[in-house]
Amino acid sequence: MHRKMELQTALSTLIMPPFAPLVGLLLAFVLWFFPSSSPVAKLSLPLAILCFLTLWICATPAFSGWLGQRLVNLQPQAPGVEPGAIVVLGGGRYRDGDSGAERLSAASLERVAWAAGHGPEKLPILVSGGRVYSEEKVPEADLMADALENLFQRPVTWRENCSRTTAENATNSAALLHDSGVEGVLLVTHWWHMPRAAESFARAGIQVEPLPVGSAGELVPRAESGLLRWLPSAAALLRSQMYWRELVADQWYRWRPLPKRRTC
């Protein structure tokens, strides 16, 4: 399964910037050395220009904002049911390669803090996240639960610690919630991840009221307005990659059946 996860990550990287434009630039460089009489040699310059422009556009705040708006259009609507629990989805961890020490990533910690600060105190909390890779020591759910209980003094009722993907988050969490008679939840994850997550939980039989971290107002920061929207930046390229991945994954999840409940 570890190799399968690595393969999925590699395949997703192939279709996201900056990998594809960079490969195209490398191919254009190779074609440049073909004999000038060769038809393929004439493709070198057009291919290089196309890949350069693609990479430039993908790294602009204007393009990342356009991609993000596509995710905004996919945001789920609350079904109007009374939630019986708060579900917090893991967003990764940091791991020291030398000592092996592990802590929540910035995304995970932000979700935990958001649940503690914006979720009703009367609702029980479920944290969801396992160990994606074999070298990870503890499930992500345990790291999140420790943060909620020790930093925010919020007790955690359920720890779903076997899932590795958003689909497994939904399937495993739904099983725990159904066993406790919970049919609707406040779902906490980042706004750009919410469409895929909410759809997965709905398919697993859980009604979702979104409690997204952040909002679409983050699409273009003030420092990237006006003419600066068309100048490339590393931050904009990172957002483009993240939003692009979510849009592709959302379509993939829509026709792919949900996995069965996974045990550790």
Q: What is the mean pLDDT of residues 219-246?
A: 82
What b-and-e string marks burial along 164-185, b requiring 16 or more CB atoms within 10 Å of the CB? bbbbbbbbbbbebbeeeebebb
CATH level 2 (architecture), domain 85-215: 3-Layer(aba) Sandwich (3.40)
Q: pTM value?
A: 0.88
The contacts of residue 183 (CB under 8 Å, 6+ apart) are 81, 84, 177, 205, 206, 207
Domain ranges within the chain, ordered by starting residue:
2-73+225-254, 85-215
pLDDT score recorded for residue 10: 63
pLDDT band at 20 (very low <50, low <70, confident <90, very high): confident
